[in-house]
Amino acid sequence: MILVADSGSTNTDWVILDQGKIISSFKTKGFNPYFTSSKEVFTEIKAKTPKEIDVENITNIYFYGSGCSSADMNNIIQNGLKQYFTKSIIEINHDLLGAARALFHNEEGIAVILGTGANTCHYNGKEITKNVPSLGFILGDEGGGDYMGKLFITDYLYGNLSKEITSNFEKKYILDKNKILQKVYKEPYPNRFLASFTEFILENSNEAYINEIIRNTFRNLFKVHICKYNNYQKYNIRVTGSVGYHFKKQLIEVATEFSAKINLIEKNPISRLAQFHILGL
């Protein structure tokens, strides 16, 4: 049996493959090694792996994760998984490679992740040939949910939103400036906190000012990232992640502004990623 995982900063999707078919699937919290430990990985995976699965029969694990961009970071995930899957051969890769493999299989194009955070790359059908760094939620993540949430909450704190939107926001969230700053600067997972506001943004996306926040999120994605890939207009752009999926209307419209073509938006890449491994591409 083969276990394939796609992990963002918020959630991890897992599928178990046997004889070319998905026989089981489950979810855990996200395992970004910048924010989690080997012990947390072990504890979570032990609790969430389906009890009917004999882990000793899992021969290979392919884990694609946000933040898995260096040997040190990968070892955090590797060590946590190895404590539970003691007989398995474990391969750790960046979630960007997972997204590229899922979205393009063996075709060439520009792969984009738009979830809690954001990342992009040029993929030649086998490997990533160029990646404009995302820099994380403090310095970058243009296009991601945390970036969109940051634009929104900044406008809220500066009093730039309409009275109606402000009132609706304050009814939905019991927050003030001090609580917001506490969560951003002092508490764990500030990126998830900022990205959590995309639910409210989506609910109010018909309001002109909110719609412009969404568009500016994606305009900055193109300015800072997509436009850095030579001749980006000639490539198919494919997108995975909840933010790309739920805000697909604005994303496609902004792509048109930049003469770019998006020909696939997948909310979740795990099924296509599983297919990649089933086909042995």
Domains of the chain and CATH, by start: 2-99+270-279 (3.30.420.40)
pLDDT tens for residues 248-261? 999 999 999 999 99
Mean pLDDT of 225-243: 95
pLDDT tens for residues 182-191? 999 988 889 8
| pLDDT > 90 in the chain, percent | 74
Per mean pLDDT, which range of 13-17, 110-114, 157-161, 189-193 is the poorest? 189-193
**How far is residue 150's CA from residue 241's CA, in Å, rounded to a whole number?**
18
Amino acid type, 61: I
pLDDT of 264 reads: 95
Mean pLDDT of 135-161: 90
pLDDT of 34 reads: 84
Confidence of residue 125 (pLDDT cuts 50, 70, 90): very high
pLDDT at 281 over 70: no
| pTM for the predicted model, two decimal places | 0.84
CB 50 within 8 A of CB 24: yes
Confidence of residue 44 (pLDDT cuts 50, 70, 90): very high
Q: Which of the pair, 234 or 140, is modelled with greater confidence?
A: 234
**How far is residue 198's CA from residue 146's CA, in Å, rounded to a whole number?**
8
pLDDT of 52 reads: 87
**How far is residue 122's CA from residue 108's CA, in Å, rounded to a whole number?**
8
Q: Which of 203, 217, 150 is nearest to 180 (CA)?
A: 150
Instruction: Kindly give, in sequence order, each residue whose CB lies less than 8 Å from that of residue 158, ignoring residues fewer than 6 positions away.
Output: none
